[in-house]
């Protein structure tokens, strides 16, 4: 019956959310629906934004969206940033977009990134720790040690180094409110992530980091004199959910692509258009910003399993639907430029 179907949909949505497969942790300071729909007044200002892992995927889409709102952006990546910067400049004539190579797991690279961003932007208002790798989908026993190290270094050490660098810059910005966003993903709530044990473990640690930093900034550390800062710092969690990028599609199977990807995953541009206004609206430290909340999951499940609406991006055999005029790699990842 319809009631049984709806009950199953609700239970499945809640179980996915509880496992942390599609969203971040419970918001400490939810953003109002009005703030989510309407870009805040700060969008009238030219804000300085740093995005790690900005050459492709959702990082590139974030940069595109911030530029469309009139903000200045620095992207960094281990890949060459010249092509994405060129593409963004062509799309946003007169926009301020800069790029630099950076391995976020390397302290010297991250220090250089901070200096580069400060030089180009003048003031850094938002720093988004977006860079991440999954290490390939396979059992931990089959993952090469080099991949284990890579995932932990990029996803956890990289966030720690970048956050520390961002805080050092923001603390010296007189009268400026700085915001740092740490990207969470599958495993953030402790739910099992078979095939991605390393990735899930690194994401599980980020809510703890965000909460620890919030308390250190607001309350200090017992036994130590409170640090005096010229600027203020807020630390948040950012959950883009399932996005059709290399991170999601690499090593995927037709079954996974049909569900949950075909039901829940979104294109990078859609995610960025939804999240960037929420990022700009964040004020309270510890805010959790997510694209794929329980309400959106329920809506997508209702459309797929009750209304029988088919995926725009995955066919009935679990293949990526390739649109004319677009370019795709062997995993079905669409090129954004």
Tell me which of 60, 199, 313, 337 is the catalytic residue.
199
Distances (CA, A) of 159 to 45, 66, 153, 286, 334: 27, 21, 9, 16, 27
The reported pLDDT for the residue numbered 45 is 82
The token pair at 161 is 């180094």
**Count of C-beta atoms within a 10 Å radius of residue 307:** 7
Q: How far is it, in rounded angstroms, from Cα 171 to Cα 185?
A: 28
Return the pLDDT at 13. Answer: 59
pLDDT score, position 308: 96
Query: What is the full per-residue pLDDT of the chain (337 aa) written as tens digits?
Result: 555 555 666 666 556 655 555 543 333 343 333 333 334 444 458 999 999 999 999 999 999 999 999 999 999 999 999 999 999 999 999 999 999 999 999 999 999 999 999 999 999 999 999 999 999 999 999 999 999 999 999 999 999 999 999 999 999 999 999 999 999 999 999 889 999 999 999 999 999 999 999 999 999 999 999 899 999 999 999 999 999 999 999 999 999 999 999 999 999 999 999 999 999 999 999 999 999 999 999 999 999 999 999 999 999 999 999 999 999 999 999 999 9
How high is the pLDDT of residue 191?
87
Long-range contacts of 110-117 (CB under 8 A, 24+ apart): 110/158, 110/161, 110/162, 110/165, 111/165, 113/50, 113/52, 113/74, 113/76, 113/162, 113/165, 114/165, 114/166, 114/168, 114/169, 116/74, 117/48, 117/50, 117/74, 117/169
The string of DSSP codes covering 218-283 is HH--TTSPPPP-SSEEEEEEEE--SBSSHHHHTT--HHHIIIIIHHH-B-HHHHHHHHHHHHHH--
Annotation says 60 is catalytic = no
Residues whose CB is less than 8 angstroms from the CB of residue 252 and which lie 6 or more positions away in sequence, other chains included: 137, 261, 331
User: 119 near 125, Cβ under 8 Å?
Assistant: no
Q: What is the pTM of this model?
A: 0.89
Which is nearest to 118 in space by CA: 127, 105, 130, 129? 127
CB-facing half-sphere around the CA of 87: CA atoms within 13 A: 16
Residue 155 vs residues 5, 131, 200: alpha-carbon distances, Å: 38, 7, 10
């Amino acid at each position: 019956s319809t009631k049984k179907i709806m009950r199953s949909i609700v239970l499945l949505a809640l179980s996915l959310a509880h496992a942390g497969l599609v969203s971040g942790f419970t918001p400490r300071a939810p953003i109002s629906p009005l703030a989510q729909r309407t870009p805040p007044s700060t969008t009238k200002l030219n804000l300085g934004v740093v995005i790690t892992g900005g050459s492709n995927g959702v990082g590139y889409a974030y940069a595109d969206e911030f530029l469309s709102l009139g903000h200045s952006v620095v992207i960094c990546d281990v890949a060459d940033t010249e092509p994405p910067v060129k593409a963004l400049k062509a799309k946003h004539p007169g926009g301020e977009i800069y790029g630099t190579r950076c391995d976020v797991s390397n302290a010297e690279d991250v220090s250089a990134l901070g200096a580069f961003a400060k030089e180009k932007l003048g003031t850094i208002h938002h720093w988004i720790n977006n860079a991440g790798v999954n290490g390939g989908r396979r059992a931990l026993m089959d993952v090469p040690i080099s991949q284990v190290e890579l995932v932990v270094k990029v996803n956890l050490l990289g966030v720690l180094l970048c956050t520390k660098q961002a805080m050092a810059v923001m603390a010296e910005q007189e009268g400026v409110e700085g915001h740092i966003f740490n990207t969470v993903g599958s495993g953030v709530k402790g739910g099992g992530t078979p095939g991605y044990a390393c990735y899930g473990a690194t994401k599980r640690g980020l809510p703890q980091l965000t909460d620890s930093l919030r308390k250190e900034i607001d309350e200090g550390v017992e036994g130590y004199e409170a640090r005096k800062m010229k600027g203020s710092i807020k630390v948040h969690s950012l959950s883009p959910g399932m996005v059709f990028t290399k991170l999601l599609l690499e090593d995927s199977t037709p079954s996974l692509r049909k569900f949950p990807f075909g039901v829940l995953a979104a294109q990078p541009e859609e995610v960025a258009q939804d999240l960037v206004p929420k990022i700009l609206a964040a004020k309270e430290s510890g805010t959790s910003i997510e694209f794929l909340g329980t309400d959106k999951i329920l809506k997508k499940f209702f459309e797929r399993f009750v209304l029988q609406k088919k995926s725009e991006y995955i066919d009935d055999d679990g293949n990526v639907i390739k649109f004319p005029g677009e370019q795709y790699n062997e995993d079905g990842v669409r090129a954004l430029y």
